[in-house]
Amino acid sequence: MTSHIVKPKQFFLPFLFLLIHNISAQDLIWPTNASQLLTATFGEYRSDHFHAGIDIKTWGREGYPVYAVEDGSVVRVLVSPNGYGRAVYFQTQSGQTVVFGHLSQFNDQIEERIRKEQNRLGRYRVQMYFKGGELPFQKGEILAYSGSTGIGVPHLHFEIRDSLNRPVNPLNFNFPIVDTIAPEIQAVALSHLTAGSHVNGDFKPAILNVTKTGSNLYQIDEPFTAHGRLGVSVAAIDLANGATNPLAFYQVELWIDGTCIYQFQNDLFSYDETDLAELIYNTRLQSHSDLRFFNLFREKGNDLACYPPATPQIGVIRSGEDERREDGSIYLSEGTHSLWIVVCDYFGNQSDLFGDFTVSAMSVPEPQATMQWMQNGETQPAPSGLGGILSIRFLRDYLYFSVDASIQSMNHPSLIIESGLNQQQTVPLIQIEPDRFAGYFPLSLIQKDVLQISLTDGPYVDRVLDRITVPVFHIRPDEPVTVVSTDEQFSVYFSRQSVYESLWCTVEVSSNPITYHVLPDDVPLKKQVRISVHVPESSNNKIQLALYQIDEDGEYQFAGNQWDVDDLTARVSRLGRFTVLRDSVPPEILSIYPRNGATSRDQTPRIQIAFKDSLSGIGEEDDYIVHLNGKRLIMEYDPEEDVAFHQLISPIQPGEHVIEIALQDRCWNRVQHTSRFTIQ
């Protein structure tokens, strides 16, 4: 495989997404006349998966023809209000499966078959499979028309899968796309992969600013010091001629001291691997930054087939430990080292980032065990205004502590943790900034499931400034675990293989409304987990209750409302903040077309309703039912616009016609409405 990146020495790691490039010699045509501009590229991050194709710009409009890229036949057609919306699966004579998504309508031949199947089932959502050759098309014939069904604004999703049903990068087929603009590098981050690792003396992930110093050249703003086991991530976007939207880059390399230690290239993946996008793209950094970071190291649990055998730590930078490792990591001795990151798009446009850093000796003291108990007698109350001066974050296998020392009366604070029977740990706090101290505590030292954490003012253990009780649960990939809140009303069930690596977890409880915050909330999950809240038997009208996840903007997102006796349950893909809310307000009908009392000469009108629901939302197709003159219509639903519509094909007779609407949200709140219009 040809690499676009210019290197000072031969690259030695044979772990690329390999693709035999003779497939690019196949004579496929571009699938639409809308444009030859991209709005998304192959392998981009989507929530919990890789983007499996490219998205083609349609200028915010619908109705551009979509062509058969080679002789072949339609083998599958999907119609859904979600995901790809209306989609065609086309098998070429060369053996690829080509997927076209978000279509507005199909070729008349396909449309007729879909309409018959919808009428047979009485539903909008259908899928049909066809034998090879049953629906043949020649290269250049129109299969469908571009649209915006499913998720997103108008565009054409174009995907190519090989004979093993693996998505491959469509750009490998030599399509006529012009791109002369290099990627833009935005920032670099370093993640601490073990307790005690630090960057510039601090123990939390460090995001480093960069400056553009020349044509496609970037530099880290300031040299940094590092120690321990660290992983580098880069935030970068690609740009292309004629488009303003950011794209994902194609290839990236990390070089340390002139040696390439990590390379990644977006050519191919399997659907068994698509969830590993959560480990390629750093979702932990994403929760604390507006930038999208790409890992230049292999996370635990990342089993992408592109990596060579026996390299679980490829790309990891190590120092201050045993020099010999056969795991793909690189060992660095104390002193100054150089870092070089190369980011490239598919068309060979390249950007380079340089920086120097120093590997330091281990100058940060580790937590020390002691048998001395904290004095439990009379303690001096915390001075006014000191509440909340201690904050805690769960980072991989350790707790990270940050102390706000802006109070002038505070001495050098101390942190004491009761982590086991008759055992304390003293956590040294390092002054990171003039008014902030930081420290870490390896979670492997925990000997019981509740930690007592006390912050004291200097060596005076009887002057407690803050004291926190933290229940801690250890989640392992190979064991089921139930995490329970301190009020015993909320639980999270982790089944086997719910997590990629071991993690420690806690639940914070707050009130008004009662909210359960499951931490850490920035860790990717391998499988959904089950959350549950116990609802008292005496609660009224339980059918209106549901679990909601609170997003970063404070908005409530419906999670689920399944019942297990008196426990309200839901399955979620992310940890975070959860609460129970009551939805007693029915959906609201905003408009009906034809409007009530309208008169028209159009005997094939488009029947359309617009509506909204303020909390639980509209769920399944049976939650929005529309009858015309007593006959149920098959309604197409756009969940992003909250619009449902049906285009009449057969003319209706002159006279009065009746539209009956029944809407229901996920909490069984219903609204019904009748509207009449006249055809002249």
Buried b (16+ CB within 10 A) or exposed e, 511-547: eeeebbbbbbbbbbbbeebbbbbbbeeeeeeeebbbb
Residues 332 and 193 in one domain: yes
The answer to whether residue 428 sits within a structural domain is yes
For residue 434, what are the contacts with CB-CB under 8 A and spacing of at least 6? Answer: none
- Residues 197 and 340 placed together within one structural domain of the fold: yes
Question: At 522, which CATH number?
Answer: 2.60.220.30
Q: Are residues 321 and 457 in the same domain?
A: no
Instruction: Give the CATH number, domain containing residue 460.
Output: 2.60.40.10
Asked whether residue 248 falls in the same domain as residue 374, the answer is: no
| 107 and 72 within one domain | yes
- Domain final residue pick, 470, 498, 532: 470
E-strand spans in 333-459? 335-344, 350-359, 368-370, 390-395, 398-404, 414-420, 423-427, 430-433, 436-442, 450-457
Cβ 250 vs Cβ 3: under 8 Å = no
The whole-angstrom separation of Cα 590 and Cα 499 is 43
Question: Can you give the pLDDT at residue 373?
Answer: 36
pLDDT of residue 10: 36
Q: Do 400 and 442 fall into the same domain? A: yes
Inside any domain, residue 195: yes
Quote the CA–CA distance of 610 and 591 in Å, as a whole number.
5
Measured on CA atoms in the order 670, 671, 672, 677, is the torsion positive or negative?
negative
* Residues in CB range of 351: below 8 A, 6 or more apart: 182, 183, 184, 185, 216, 217, 218, 236, 342, 343, 344
User: Is 612 in contact with 642 (CB distance < 8 Å)?
Assistant: yes
Phi, psi of 171 (to 5 degrees): -65, -20
Tell me how crowded residue 377 is: count the other CB atoms within 10 A of its CB: 6
Structural domain includes residue 14: no
> Which domain-ending residue is among 582, 616, 637?
582
If you write DSSP's letter for every residue of 398-411 in order, what string do you get? EEEEEEE---TT--
pLDDT for res 423: 73
Helix locations, 23-155, DSSP H = 108-121
Answering whether pTM is above 0.85, one says yes
pLDDT of residue 388: 58
For residue 284, what is the enclosing H or E element? helix 283-286
Decide if 130 is inside a domain: yes
Same domain, 488 and 527: yes
pLDDT along the chain (680 residues), means of 10: 41 40 66 96 92 96 98 97 96 96 97 96 96 94 97 95 96 93 97 94 95 97 95 96 90 97 95 94 87 96 88 93 86 96 97 97 70 36 52 91 76 81 81 90 86 79 77 94 96 97 94 94 95 90 96 95 96 97 96 96 97 93 96 94 94 97 97 97
- Asked, for residue 233, whether it belongs to a domain, the answer is yes
Residue 146 domain flag: yes
Give the list of residues 6+ apart from residue 51 with CB closer than 8 angstroms, or none.
40, 41, 42, 43, 44, 45, 248
In a domain? residue 10? no
In the block, tokens 């908005």 appear at 555
What is the CATH number for 628? 2.60.40.1220
CATH code, domain carrying 158: 2.70.70.10
For residues 355 and 279, state if they share a domain. yes
Token pair 């006014």 in the structure block, residue: 384
Do 566 and 630 belong together in one domain?
no
Shared-domain flag, residues 341 and 238: yes
User: b/e for 555-588, b at 16 or more Cβ within 10 A?
Assistant: ebebbbbeeeeebbbbebbbbbbbbbebbeebbe
Specify the number of domains making up the chain. 5
d(CA 680, CA 674): 20
- Owning domain of residue 322: 184-359
Tell me how far apart the alpha carbons of residues 97 and 132 are, in angstroms, rounded to a whole number: 11
Show which of 333, 359, 385 is a domain's final residue: 359
Residue type at 318 in one-letter notation: R
The encoded tokens of residue 486 equal 């301190």
Task: For residue 589, give the amino acid letter.
Answer: I
Whether residue 243 sits in one domain with residue 167: no
- 9 within a domain of the structure (yes/no): no
- Residues 98 and 155 reside in one and the same domain: yes
